[in-house]
Structure 1
Amino acid sequence: MLIGLFEKHPKILIECAIAERLRRMPEVELHPTLFNTPLIYGPEAACESMTALYREYIDTAAEADLPLLLTAPTWRLDPARIATADVPAGINSDAVNYLIGVRDDHAGASPVMVGALTGPRGDCYRPEEAPDTDTAERFHSTQIGELAYTAADFLLAQTLPAVKEALGIAKAMAKTDKPYFISFCTGTDGKVLDGTSLSEAMTGIDRAVPRPPLGYFVNCTHPGFITPNYPPGSLERLVGIQANGSSKDVTRLDASSETQADPVVDWAQAMSELHTTHNVSVLGGCCGTGLAHLKSLAQI
């Protein structure tokens, strides 16, 4: 069904920020290592605030008659972090089931697909912290195996700063029966934070795994970092972006105590240029984005 979605629709929406929006809400306290995931268990007001954000995105896609991809809040749910947090052992499957429930209770006529996230082992802005490929495959296999047994429609490894770790994750995901995507974090030069060009990173992983990803994303970056740095036709395997609202370097954004965002109209124009120049079909937001950003994407 997911492959058919890409074949049928030249534009697909994916959620904008969830955790970063929740961070600014007075009724919400994020977990120090698992962020918004434990909110699926409560408190009730905080859980409802998170659910309301997903519903906003579902409504926006339905109003535009566009398909939508949502991702369950499983980004940091590796065994090491779960072991040191006071949360149920089945939190990965619980998080996926939570979002499937939100989708099923609120979805309209437009298709909504639910994915399951995994993230880097270390700091997503520090490629030097990334494990080597074999270590990454071992480290991430437990969580990926748990997510593969859920009813998620796809897997997505997100905010990866180094190709060596991305390859290990891809090898683990290739062993499942789920379609999957790999998403890199890039610098202002459009390269993965470890210095690898996107075209080289995608080709290398495609050649090294028995079942390549359905496609590749970039996230926690800006479309203005990608479009001018690659000639048309060179990023055919890049299918999606979840872009920051700001065109500042990600390391500067990470050090900021306040939300940083360019005017929505400028952001949407940059996203439109990436969409048309490189045929990137899945469009959504990351840090500094919200409902206004998704609405702007629905209109381009």
Structure 2
Amino acid sequence: MTRYRHQLPQLSNSLFITDGGLETTLIFHQGWDLPDFAAFDLLKHQTGYQALRQYFQSYAVLAQTYGMGLVLESATWRANPDWGTKLGYDRATLAEMNRRSIALLHQIRTEYETVRSPMVISGCLGPRGDGYIPSEAMTIGEAAVYHQDQITTFWEAGADLVTAMTMNYVEEAIGIVQAAQFTGMPVAISFTVETDGNLPTGQPLADAIAQVDAITDQGPAYYMINCAHPTHFEALLSRGEPWVGRIRGLRGNASAKSHAELNEATELDDGNPEELAQQYRDLREQLPHLTILGGCCGTDQRHIESICKACVPLVWTHFSSIGAWM
């Protein structure tokens, strides 16, 4: 069932989008109750399944419309043992939810993929603990064992890769990479950063990437940044240092607020879609290797469509300049 596991198309120069803030869209725009932000819980009934299906369909249509690739990220950010147990799932039923989530994405790809819009299926891993606070940190070995079952389930379900989102300390990221290497799955690591551009532990992003690469022999296919606003990290990426080339994806928040402020917020801050898109465009002009563009908290289809409109002209400008040079 897998299609791109051995040759990920997002590693080319082609532009890919991914979705926006799944959980904030479901909660604030569609009125769903997601206990502990667990979107996968909707897969237990038909109405929830249809809500997720319609959500992913909307981004597949965007990819078709703008002639871009799409990374379909499964609704499994909370589908690991700790969070699953809190919601009443045992090991077997949790594995079934992970399989259902990947199966849904296979259906979307079958219906919407075109030659111009390849669609890559990614099994999404979330942190064992809180996405913003690296409490009760695991060792590398503990993290590898902890995340192994979910990665194996994604492999068996035919996902093309796994993406670890909102990683807030380096040992968990390394453990995930080692578990993916053991399973034979490509893996992407997406770190979150605070307003100063550092991980919540205080570790500089450059040092975190260097540490993961050193211990795993450059195991990740690429890195991403998610759950942070571009103003929190754009200065770091603009320095032109070699490590920046390892970052291929951005999933920014709509809001420029800190993690602490977002945790206290009672209303959704959906920012300004056009402004966010322009910030993405500015980064893409400096760093054309940023080929995967999506959103995180507070973003929705409006933000991703604005990003499409802002960044697709850059692709055509790039190819036109190549044609003129040749």
Q: TM-score, normalised by structure 1?
A: 0.92
1:233 is aligned with what amino acid? Answer: E
Q: What's 1:252 paired with? A: 261
User: Where do 1:1-300 residues align within 5 Å?
Assistant: 1=4, 3=7, 5-25=9-29, 28-30=32-34, 32-33=35-36, 35-44=38-47, 46-87=48-89, 88-89=93-94, 90-109=96-115, 110-210=117-217, 212-230=219-237, 231-234=239-242, 235-278=244-287, 279-299=289-309, 300=311
Shift in Å at residue 10 of structure 1?
3.9
Task: Please give the per-residue CA displacement for 1:134-154, whole angstroms capped at 9, x wherever unaligned.
Answer: 221221122222222221111
Shift of 1:25: 4.6
- How many residue pairs get matched? 298
SS in 1 for 2:147: helix
The one-letter amino acid of 1:280's match is: L
**Mapped contact 1:245–1:285 kept (Cα < 8 A):** yes
Give the distance between the partners of 1:122 and 1:23, measured in 2 at CA: 21
**CA offsets, 1:41-92, max 9 Å, x none?**
3242x33222111111111111110001011111121223334534424221
Contact 1:226/1:274 (<8 A) preserved: no
Structure 1 unaligned segments of length 5 or more: list them.
none
Mapped to 2, the partners of 1:26 and 1:17 lie a distance apart of 12
Output the CA distance in 1 between the equivalents of 2:308 and 2:250.
Answer: 14
Aligned mates of 2:251, 2:88 — CA distance in 1: 30
Q: Alpha-carbon deviations, 1:251-274, whole Å to 9, x = none? A: 211221111132111111111122
Distance (whole Å) between structure 1 residues aligned to residue 206 and residue 59 of structure 2 = 31
CA contact (8 A) 1:74 1:118 kept: yes
Q: Distance in 2 between matches of 1:28 and 1:263?
A: 23
SS in structure 1 of the partner of residue 123 of structure 2:
strand
Between structures 1 and 2, the one with greater helix share: 2
Deviation at 1:34, TM superposition (A): 6.3
Closer/same/farther in 2, CA of residues 229 and 7 from structure 1, 3 Å limit: closer
Partners of 2:16 and 2:70 within 8 A in 1: yes
Q: CA deviation at 1:161?
A: 0.8
1-side partners of 2:279 and 2:37: how far apart? 32
How far apart in 2 are the matches of 1:80 and 1:249?
Answer: 26
- Structure 1 contact 174–211 (Cα < 8 Å) conserved: no
In structure 2, the residue corresponding to 1:47 is in which secondary structure? Answer: helix
Task: Look up the equivalent residue of 2:281 and give its one-letter code.
Answer: S
User: Alpha carbon RMSD of aligned pairs, Å?
Assistant: 2.0
Greater displacement, 101-110 / 193-202: 101-110
Displacement after TM superposition at 1:169 (Å): 1.4
CA distance in 2, matches of 1:75, 1:52: 18
